[in-house]
Amino acid sequence: MLNALGRIFGRGTSGDRDDPMAFLDEYAAVMNRHTGLEVYNGFKRGHTGLSIDAGFGSGMLLWLEDGQYCFDEEERGKVVKGGIIASASVELTQKVMVNYTVSILRHSLGLPVLGVPTKADELPSGWVLQETPTWSYVALDGPQGEHLEFVASGARYCVALAWLYDVTPSELLNAYMLPDGGPLLRRWLGYPYLR
């Protein structure tokens, strides 16, 4: 079903989902086609970043720095590093990027706001969020020995990763383009998580 949906919206097929960097092309194509944002995948051209231009001097940036993929907001050419998420895992960072920007996409498609839980007390059973004594969250540990490392400034950016542990960024993007989130977003919750 996701492949058929991908053909409808002009995206890649399941073979592309195995390459985490190929997802950035898919994401840019979807966002450029369906939202007012301008998304530029610099990774494809040998650069170290993907930019999301929201207009009026603001936007978001996904970039690689010192072995960490970082995703943060940009305003007037300045990026607040460590504000949203940084991780050695490009897939974790991409999932946070999708969750962070999906409300723009769903609004553009005329769909209701939909998302997975984002509060620390909404973690799935057995998952634990590690917090440093300062202001950041640094990992999620799962009941089956899962360990997801990152640096994030707020639980709302990383809690969803526990729900999306075994989902690819491409599958997540495709699910958010369905009015009710489809079976992927309903499989844990039993119902769409309307906000």
Share of the chain above pLDDT 70, in %: 82
- Alpha-carbon torsion, ordered 75, 80, 86, 90, to 10 deg: 20
| pTM of structure | 0.85
Position 9 scores a pLDDT of: 43
pLDDT beyond 60 at 6: no
Task: Render pLDDT for 88-128 as a digit per residue (tens, 0 to 9).
Answer: 999 999 999 999 999 999 999 999 888 888 899 989 999 99
Q: Token pair for residue 98?
A: 């999708």
Q: How far is CA 140 from CA 70, 80, 156, 162, 179, in A?
A: 17, 23, 13, 7, 29
- Token pair 């001097």: residue: 57
Cα–Cα distance measured from residue 92 to residue 162, given in angstroms and rounded to the nearest whole number: 10
Dist CA 75 CA 38 (whole Å): 15
User: What local confidence, expressed as pLDDT, does residue 2 receive?
Assistant: 45
DSSP 83: S
Q: Where are the domains of the chain?
A: 2-179
Cβ atoms of residues 96 and 157 within 8 Å: yes
- d(Cα 49, Cα 59) in Å, to the nearest integer? 13
Which pLDDT belongs to residue 167? Answer: 93
- Residue 177: what pLDDT? 95
Give the count of beta carbons closer than 10 Å to the beta carbon of residue 124: 15
In the predicted model, is pLDDT for residue 78 greater than 90? no
Three-state SS letters, 94-155: HHHHHHHHHHHHHHHCCCCCECCCCCHHHCCCCCEEEECCCCCEEEEECCCCCEEEEEECCH
